[in-house]
């Protein structure tokens, strides 16, 4: 029997349907669904089926174990028992195995994991590999016909990452959490990529906090031409740092009342179409229409599995010569949304796509591979699909052309200017509305024209601190610094939110994040620097290129970590002290209205959550809280109860990651009482912590 192994059940079903021309029959291998046709069986794995783990002896957290974890002999454990059993059953009658998992590091490793299980029972089975970038009939049939060898080096590089991340994450997380005496759900998570990424956000927040605003003034005027046309101008100096200077200039312009156009210059500006989507470019564009990196990638994954877009994990920004661009455009010839622009492109003698700086051979840039309509997809899927289609069509379109106008005006010896921009040819902007195309229209002015001052305004402003880094911006920064991979960056950012190190978008670090990064920078600076993890990423690339061995790279990382631990062990008390203080500050909800002490997030002996007074038992002021979800204390105070900060709750389980604005705990308590759930007066408060 010839078995074809895919990464997921949905992929198995689609590939079986394509290769069998729709004749595949369902069957079961153990408890796993499979699809059989013409002596072939296609089965899906549900992702990783085994993983590296620490030995049982190290599961009981201790400082000693944390240090020993660095050099512990890791073990491989099955995480999907039913799939493992199915693979063992497959091994007994397999003549040939074809791996058809996603073609990237993780996909190659998932396939090799399955292969190892099969080869333990059937070591001589023939093995080959399908490589495809889209789940379409053409791609799947061509990749099946041109099967090649399994890339064991690529799989080894992914496995090295697993091992290294486990060693670093487990040992550092245990050490730091125990030092802070903070285990359980809110333990301190530390990671090889996670920590330097968090350090970037903390560094930016410190920059914002140190910023001192400075006042300045801007002079704006409305002028009227002799034909009665009104337009806006600004003083050439833009910013005045002294109010006296600004007032003097204003007085001179007011006294003059009119002025002369000294110069008018126009020039043509060409706005080039965007480059094709790699993963980072896609995430940034999706962010601009309201999708977080994690959400955007999840939707893209679904569209890929539906056979609508190409593989969404790619570093490529150059279409390969083998990609039939004209055929892809023809798909949209009669499309309600994209048909008009597709017809314009098809009139060209030759399609000349844009190209970015990156060119790889594994997958092409993200592009549509099948046509669908808005009615066939849910709202979010459509918006992401539409983004991919419009970007693809934009990359094949003409540049946009603008006419920029710069007008110099003199009033009372003071230089003012007006700038205009007029869109002359839409080009790619006709199909790609995500890029701004705001026009600023000026009257037709010429040198020597007289203008009259209609209105004059001196606007006082303040310099603003630097902006926080958006999630999409952080993805780009991680890429530039070599932190993580195209497949993992959005997951790393998601973990920072899950571990309550950051909140909001743009991401704002919590006190817990500040304390962790400050401690690490002081006593283990290497963990927070991108250079360390960047070096390891390069070594893992060396594994995939066949220049390094998995064990060598893992041993190099252990040497780095041993050096870090030596310093951390010597400063354990100082690390623990700073982290404990941060934990407390992150739990402060406000000031007790009865005694003035801090109000904290607390838990009763029975596990009930509530807001309680730090002066307990002398003061027993409480407020109830919902039993589930991660609690986040915001910096927004309640208007009705200004002694309290508002709360947010991040849901767990179903709806995981969604944020609920809980608001003021006192307001919620009063609403609860009004609904009649408890009418016992002050007895309500006692029940809060029962």
Q: Is 58 a catalytic residue?
A: no
d(CA 272, CA 429): 10
Choosing from 311, 385, 501, 666, the catalytic residue is 311
The pTM for the full model equals 0.84
Per the CB < 8 A criterion, the answer to whether 65 and 58 are in contact is yes
At 317, is the secondary structure helix, strand, or coil? coil
d(CA 586, CA 503): 12
d(CA 612, CA 602): 6
Confidence bin at 347 (pLDDT 50/70/90): very high
Tell me the average pLDDT across 443-456: 94
Question: Comparing C-alpha atoms, which of 336, 323, 333 is closest to residue 382?
Answer: 336
Question: Comparing C-alpha atoms, which of 80, 54, 82 is closest to residue 68?
Answer: 54
Tokens 């059989």 sit on residue: 36
Tell me the average pLDDT across 124-147: 95
d(CA 299, CA 156): 29
At 390, is the secondary structure helix, strand, or coil? helix
The terminus-to-terminus CA distance of the chain in angstroms comes to 64
d(CA 256, CA 518): 58
Out of 110-119, 224-233, 352-361, 656-665, least confident range: 656-665
Query: Residue 131: what are its φ and ψ, rounded to 5°?
Result: -130, 120
What is the pLDDT of the chain when averaged over all its residues? Answer: 90
Supply the pLDDT for residue 687. 47
pLDDT in tens, 54-72: 988 887 777 777 888 899 9
- pLDDT of residue 605 exceeding 70, the answer is yes
Query: Residue 171: what are its φ and ψ, rounded to 5°?
Result: -65, -45
* H helix or E strand, kind and range, residue 672: helix 665-674
pLDDT in tens, 3-27: 999 999 999 999 999 999 999 999 9
Tokens 């369902």 sit on residue: 26
Tokens 């000349």 sit on residue: 352
- pLDDT of residue 689 exceeding 60, the answer is no
Question: Comparing C-alpha atoms, which of 46, 55, 40 is closest to residue 6?
Answer: 46
pLDDT in tens, 237-295: 999 999 999 999 999 999 999 999 999 999 999 999 999 999 999 999 999 999 999 99
| 463 to 240, 246, 265: CA distances (angstroms) | 12, 17, 31
Confidence bin at 185 (pLDDT 50/70/90): low
- pLDDT of residue 143 exceeding 60, the answer is yes
**Which region, left, alpha or beta, applies to residue 567 given φ > 0 means left and ψ of -120 to 50 means alpha?**
alpha
Supply the pLDDT for residue 352. 94
Supply the pLDDT for residue 181. 79
At 237, is the secondary structure helix, strand, or coil? coil
Tokens standing for residue 45:
């794995």
Find residue 1's DSSP bridge partners: none
d(CA 297, CA 389): 16
d(CA 259, CA 453): 8
Packing angle, helices 137-145 and 9-19, rounded to 10: 80
Question: Comparing C-alpha atoms, which of 38, 302, 29, 300 is closest to residue 144?
Answer: 38
- pLDDT of residue 655 exceeding 50, the answer is no
Supply the pLDDT for residue 686. 46
pLDDT in tens, 634-644: 888 999 999 99
Per the CB < 8 A criterion, the answer to whether 598 and 591 are in contact is yes
SS3 string of 263-287?
A: EEEEEEEEECCCCCECHHHHHHHHH
| 60 to 54, 55, 352: CA distances (angstroms) | 11, 10, 61
d(CA 129, CA 114): 13
d(CA 231, CA 220): 11
Question: Comparing C-alpha atoms, which of 102, 91, 122 is closest to residue 3?
Answer: 91
d(CA 318, CA 355): 5
| 230 to 133, 138, 220, 250, 411: CA distances (angstroms) | 56, 60, 13, 19, 16
Supply the pLDDT for residue 576. 86
- pLDDT of residue 679 exceeding 90, the answer is no
d(CA 420, CA 159): 56
Out of 50-64, 177-191, 222-236, 540-554, least confident range: 177-191
Question: Comparing C-alpha atoms, which of 586, 468, 600, 465 is closest to residue 516?
Answer: 586
Residues 6 or more apart in contact with residue 340 via CB below 8 angstroms? none
Tell me the average pLDDT across 549-569: 90
- pLDDT of residue 657 exceeding 70, the answer is no
d(CA 103, CA 209): 44
Buried b / exposed e over 496-519, threshold 16 CB at 10 Å, is: bbbbbbbbebebbbbbbbbbbbbb
Supply the pLDDT for residue 635. 80
Supply the DSSP symbol for 435.
Answer: S
| 41 to 130, 281, 317, 434: CA distances (angstroms) | 15, 38, 36, 44
Per the CB < 8 A criterion, the answer to whether 392 and 428 are in contact is no
Supply the pLDDT for residue 688. 46
Out of 179-183, 206-210, 233-237, 636-640, least confident range: 179-183
d(CA 432, CA 683): 62
Buried b / exposed e over 640-664, threshold 16 CB at 10 Å, is: ebeebbbbbbbeeeeeeeeeeebbb
Supply the pLDDT for residue 183. 65
Question: Comparing C-alpha atoms, which of 7, 15, 3, 1 is closest to residue 97?
Answer: 3
* H helix or E strand, kind and range, residue 518: helix 511-523
Supply the pLDDT for residue 592. 92
Planar angle of CA 162, 502, 169, nearest 5 degrees: 20
């Amino acid at each position: 029997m010839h078995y074809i192994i895919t990464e997921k059940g949905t992929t198995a079903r689609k590939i079986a349907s394509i290769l069998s021309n729709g004749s595949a029959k369902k069957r079961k291998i153990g408890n796993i669904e499979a699809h059989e046709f013409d002596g072939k069986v296609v089965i899906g794995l549900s992702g990783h089926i085994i993983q590296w783990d620490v030995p049982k002896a190290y599961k009981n957290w201790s400082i000693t174990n944390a240090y020993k974890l660095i050099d512990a002999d890791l073990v491989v454990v099955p995480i999907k028992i039913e799939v493992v059993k199915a693979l063992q059953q497959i091994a007994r009658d397999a003549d040939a195995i074809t791996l058809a998992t996603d073609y990237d590091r993780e996909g190659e490793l998932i396939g090799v994991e399955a292969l190892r299980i099969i080869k333990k029972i059937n070591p001589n089975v023939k093995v080959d590999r399908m490589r495809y970038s889209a789940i379409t009939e053409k791609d799947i049939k061509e990749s099946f016909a041109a099967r090649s060898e399994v890339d064991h080096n690529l799989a080894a590089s992914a496995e090295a990452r697993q091992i290294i991340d486990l060693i670093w994450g487990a040992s550092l997380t245990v050490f730091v959490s125990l030092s802070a005496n903070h285990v359980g759900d809110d333990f301190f998570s530390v990671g090889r990529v996670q920590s330097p990424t968090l350090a970037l956000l903390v560094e930016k927040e410190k920059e914002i906090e140190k910023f001192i605003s400075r006042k300045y003034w801007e002079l704006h005027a409305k002028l009227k031409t002799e034909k009665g046309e009104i337009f806006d101008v600004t003083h050439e100096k833009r910013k005045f740092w002294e109010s006296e200077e600004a007032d003097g200039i204003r007085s001179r312009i007011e006294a003059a009342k009119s002025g002369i156009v000294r110069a008018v210059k126009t020039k043509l500006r060409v706005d080039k179409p965007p480059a094709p989507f790699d993963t980072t470019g896609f995430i940034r564009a999706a962010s601009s229409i309201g999708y977080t990196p994690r959400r955007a990638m999840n939707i893209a994954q679904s569209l890929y599995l539906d056979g609508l877009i190409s593989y969404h994990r790619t570093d490529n920004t150059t279409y390969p010569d083998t990609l039939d661009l004209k055929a892809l455009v023809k798909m949209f010839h009669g499309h309600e949304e994209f048909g008009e622009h597709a017809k314009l492109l098809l009139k060209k003698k030759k399609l000349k796509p844009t190209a970015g700086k990156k060119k790889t051979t594994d997958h092409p840039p993200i592009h549509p591979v099948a046509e669908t309509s808005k009615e066939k997809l849910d709202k979010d899927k459509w918006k992401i699909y539409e983004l991919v289609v419009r970007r693809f069509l934009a990359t094949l379109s003409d540049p946009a052309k603008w006419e920029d106008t710069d007008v110099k005006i003199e009033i009372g010896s003071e230089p003012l200017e007006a700038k205009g921009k007029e869109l002359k040819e839409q080009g790619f902007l006709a199909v790609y509305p995500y890029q701004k195309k705001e026009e600023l229209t000026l009257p037709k002015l010429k040198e020597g024209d007289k203008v009259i001052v209609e209105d004059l305004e001196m606007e006082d402003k303040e310099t603003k601190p630097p902006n926080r880094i958006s999630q999409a911006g952080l993805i780009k920064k991680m890429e530039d610094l070599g932190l993580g991979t195209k497949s993992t960056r959005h997951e790393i950012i998601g973990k920072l939110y899950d571990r309550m190190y950051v909140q909001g978008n743009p991401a704002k670090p919590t006190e817990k994040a500040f304390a962790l990064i400050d401690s690490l920078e002081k006593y283990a600076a290497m963990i927070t620097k991108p250079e360390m993890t960047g070096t390891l990423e390069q070594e893992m690339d060396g594994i995939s290129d066949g220049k390094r061995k998995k064990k060598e790279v893992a041993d190099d990382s252990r040497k780095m970590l041993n050096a870090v631990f030596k310093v951390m062990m010597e400063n354990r008390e100082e690390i623990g002290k700073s982290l404990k203080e941060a934990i407390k500050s992150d739990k402060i909800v406000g000031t007790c209205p009865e005694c003035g002490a801090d109000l904290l997030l607390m838990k009763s002996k029975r596990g009930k959550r509530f807001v309680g007074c730090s002066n307990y038992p002398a003061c027993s002021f409480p407020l109830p809280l919902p039993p589930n979800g991660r609690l986040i204390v915001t910096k927004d105070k309640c208007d009705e109860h200004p002694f309290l900060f508002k709360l947010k709750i991040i849901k767990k389980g179903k709806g995981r990651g969604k944020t609920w604005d809980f608001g003021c705990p006192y307001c919620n308590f009063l609403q609860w009482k009004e609904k009649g759930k408890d009418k016992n007066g002050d007895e309500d408060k006692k029940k809060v912590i029962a």
